[in-house]
């Protein structure tokens, strides 16, 4: 769920020549990317069995920062030191990573995995709204407005359903996840502003700044004490969140957007909530109510309609990176 710039000089993976094999290759990468993002909700739930929301955040950011450090040395890239880049990276770290991931972690202590995945499905809809104000050349189209309205109708249905009927704690958890969606959407807009930079130095800066911001929060809330007991599944979940839901998707998104185009990469928005719901049902035995099904259908339907509006309305908002 992290937002990073798409580099102009990123070295792509080796892909098949144009033809059906290339299309199949792109489809496979698309599914892999959606699985990485969609599984993050399950991994957060498992991590929270032994870690607090702040501990899970700090571990995720620190490991992702180490990953980008290794990538920086392997690719022999220079750290971005300009004032403009530092301000941008700081904004991306705080708005697009620390705040939304902390809110998601806290929210998932109160709501189920599938519910969190459905609520996070509004990220591309929020991005479309923000893009009107902050992305030059973005035009508002009636289909876009209809898509946004349909998508948020799904949120209303979900809030009125039994999955959020567990009292004020559940409602506050859902509200925190919706606020996280705003942060991730804002991070996407910031990533568009960072498109002049190479993604690895930007990712390096963002993750280290996020680590330096989250570590003091962890120290203040826990006194530096580590959990008394950490199971292998929880530790593996933190590692998975850092590598497979934060660092690797950034690099994979770079290739997919450059090779297949941002519109194709944007199809992940349809798959991520479905995968999140399916994994919650499969591994955590979470129930699936008809309210959730209707809400999921409305949100995905809103994204579909909004994409129609995006194609007719001019410049498309950047692909959402969770």
User: What would the 3-class secondary structure string for 152-177 be?
Assistant: HHHHHHHHHCHHHCCCHHHHHHHHHH
Nearest to 266 by CA among 253, 276, 248, 247: 253
pLDDT at 240: 97
* pTM for this entry: 0.85
Contacts of 17 (CB under 8 A, 6+ apart): none
CB 195 within 8 A of CB 3: no
Reported as a single tens digit per residue, the pLDDT across 132-176 is 777 666 666 788 788 888 988 988 888 776 656 666 678 899 999
pLDDT at 190: 83
**Confidence label for 3 from pLDDT (cuts 50, 70 and 90):** very low
Compute the average pLDDT of residues 119-132.
84
The tokens for 268 are: 């992940």
Reported as a single tens digit per residue, the pLDDT across 235-293 is 999 999 999 999 998 778 777 777 776 667 777 878 889 999 999 999 999 988 888 89
Give the 3-state secondary structure of residue 119: helix
Which residue in this structure is represented by tokens 């499905």? 121
The answer on pLDDT for 196 being more than 80 is no
pLDDT at 320: 46
Burial (Cβ within 10 Å: 0-12, 13-18, ≥19) of residue 164: buried
Reported as a single tens digit per residue, the pLDDT across 13-64 is 666 667 778 778 888 888 998 999 999 999 999 999 999 999 999 999 999 9
CA distance 52 to 39: 19
pLDDT at 38: 94
* Alpha helix positions (H), 121-247: 123-134, 142-160, 168-193, 199-222, 232-242
Reported as a single tens digit per residue, the pLDDT across 51-98 is 999 999 999 999 999 999 999 999 999 999 999 999 999 999 999 999
pLDDT at 10: 43
CA distance 249 to 271: 14
Compute the average pLDDT of residues 170-183.
91
pLDDT at 138: 62
CA distance 234 to 94: 25
pLDDT at 159: 77
């Amino acid at each position: 769920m992290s937002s990073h710039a798409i580099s102009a000089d990123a070295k792509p993976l080796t892909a098949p020549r144009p033809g059906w094999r290339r299309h199949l290759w792109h489809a496979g990468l698309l599914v892999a990317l959606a699985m990485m993002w969609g599984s993050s909700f399950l991994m957060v739930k498992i991590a929270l069995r032994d870690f607090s929301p702040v501990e899970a955040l700090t571990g995720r950011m620190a490991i992702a920062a180490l990953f980008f450090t290794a990538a920086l040395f392997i690719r022999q890239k220079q750290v971005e030191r300009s004032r403009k880049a530092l301000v941008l990276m700081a904004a991306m770290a705080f708005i697009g990573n620390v705040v939304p991931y902390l809110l998601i972690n806290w929210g998932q202590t109160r709501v189920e995995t599938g519910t969190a995945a459905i609520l996070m499905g509004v990220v591309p809809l929020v991005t479309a709204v923000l893009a009107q104000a902050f992305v030059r050349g973005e035009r508002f189209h009636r289909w876009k407005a209809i898509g946004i309205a349909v998508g948020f109708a799904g949120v209303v249905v979900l809030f009125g359903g039994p999955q959020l009927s567990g009292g004020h704690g559940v409602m506050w958890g859902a509200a925190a996840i919706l606020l996280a969606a705003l942060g991730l959407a804002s991070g996407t807009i910031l990533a568009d502003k960072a498109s002049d930079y190479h993604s690895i130095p930007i990712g390096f800066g963002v993750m280290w700044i996020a680590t330096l911001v989250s570590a003091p929060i962890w120290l203040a809330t826990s006194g530096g004490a580590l959990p008394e007991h950490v199971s292998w599944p929880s530790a593996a979940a933190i590692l998975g969140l850092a590598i497979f839901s934060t660092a690797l998707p950034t690099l994979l998104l770079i290739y997919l957007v450059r090779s297949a185009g941002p519109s194709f990469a944007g199809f992940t928005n349809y798959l991520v909530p479905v995968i999140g719901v399916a994994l919650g049902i499969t591994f955590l035995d979470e129930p699936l109510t008809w309210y959730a099904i209707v809400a999921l259908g409305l949100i995905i339907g809103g994204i579909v309609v909004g994409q129609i509006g995006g194609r007719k309305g001019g410049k498309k908002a950047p692909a959402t990176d969770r």
